[in-house]
Amino acid sequence: MRPADRERVVELTADIWEGHDYLPQVFDAWVADPAADFMAAEEDGVLVGLQRVRPIAPRVMFYEGLRVASTHRRQGLARRMVRAAVDSARAAGFQHMRLVTGDNPPSQGLFESEGFRELFQGAPWRARRQEGGDPPRIPGAAEAEALADRLGGLAGFDQYGGLNPDWQSPLDLDSALLARLAGEGRLRLGAGGRALAVVQPETLRDLNVSCAIGSGGVFQDLLMALRFEADSQDLPGVWLLAPDDHPGLDDLRAVGYDFDGDDFHLHVYGLRLDS
């Protein structure tokens, strides 16, 4: 895609999600990103499909932005585009492809039939900011290594699929990712390292927490501290993504978090490219 394609993208997406497609907003940034490959499908010179791939770790490719013009649907175009993206990522030596979607039966059906597996499914919870307490502790990179060994034993780790469902970059919570997140100041730690949260780099409205692991009193203290952090940053509250079977859901409720799902779920899918 080139900057000059902007109008064609605006046109293609005009009737998607009742005119609320975010692609026109991100178009300039997407076109300008040299690390990503933003691809167009054309038919007789007309733009009929879009997709983008972007490496998010040395061997992990992120897939996003799939769109097919409403005039060209159910002709197998999306399937051909996804296959092309998968084949080229595999040929380039990537081991995994990851993607994130909301509740979207057509695209979920497509990706599942192409072998993608759902790795995580979760819904948003919200709490209002709270005055009068200390924000959580932010561990440094040196602590991240020790954390990696313990994390698998904490309540909720498995329900998160062992990953941080960051909607820009869903990666396994291994020592490499923990070191990276610690370096970016995005980890929040409960007492004794017995609870962990990951905050998103961007703030949409609230303090966005993509993952919160733990249960019991230490977990509750961490969840409260996130509300204090929202207050210290003058944000209205905390928005936290939790799997429906998180063992700490009662802890969330106990410290003022409410289910904010309204039936919305975020899904992370993954495909192994090397098997």
Ligand X SMILES: CC(C)(COP(=O)(O)OP(=O)(O)OC[C@H]1O[C@@H](n2cnc3c(N)ncnc32)[C@H](O)[C@@H]1OP(=O)(O)O)[C@@H](O)C(=O)NCCC(=O)NCCS
Region near ligand X per CB under 6 A, out of 64-72, 83-91, 190-198, 245-253: 64-72
Q: Which is nearer to ligand X, 16 or 176 (CB)?
A: 16
Residue 130, CB half-sphere, CA atoms under 13 Å: how many?
Answer: 19
Q: Are 22 and 37 in contact (CB under 8 A)?
A: no
For tokens 């291994």, name the residue.
174
Angstrom distance (rounded) from CA 255 to CA 218: 12
| 73 near ligand X, rule: CB under 6 A | yes
| 74 near ligand X, rule: CB under 6 A | yes
Angstrom distance (rounded) from CA 52 to CA 222: 36
Six-digit token string for 196? 């962990």
Candidates 5, 6, 8, 16: give the one binding ligand X (CB under 6 A): 16
| 110 near ligand X, rule: CB under 6 A | yes
Total Cβ atoms within 10 A of residue 37: 17
Q: Which is nearer to ligand X, 58 or 105 (CB)?
A: 105
Q: Which is nearer to ligand X, 23 or 225 (CB)?
A: 23
| 75 near ligand X, rule: CB under 6 A | yes
Least distance between ligand X and beta carbon 21 (Å): 7
Least distance between ligand X and beta carbon 104 (Å): 5
Least distance between ligand X and beta carbon 117 (Å): 16
Q: Is residue 120 helix, strand or coil?
A: strand
| 138 near ligand X, rule: CB under 6 A | no
Of the candidates 196, 192, 203, the one whose C-alpha atom is nearest the C-alpha of residue 230 is: 203
Candidates 10, 76, 93, 145: give the one binding ligand X (CB under 6 A): 76
In sequence order, the 6+-apart residues with CB closer than 8 A to the CB of 190 are: 136, 196, 214, 218, 219, 221, 222
Region near ligand X per CB under 6 A, out of 71-79, 154-162, 199-207, 218-226: 71-79
Angle between helices 105-113 and 77-91 (to 10 degrees): 50
| 71 near ligand X, rule: CB under 6 A | no
Which residues are near ligand X by CB under 6 A?
16, 66-68, 73-79, 101, 104-107, 109-110, 113
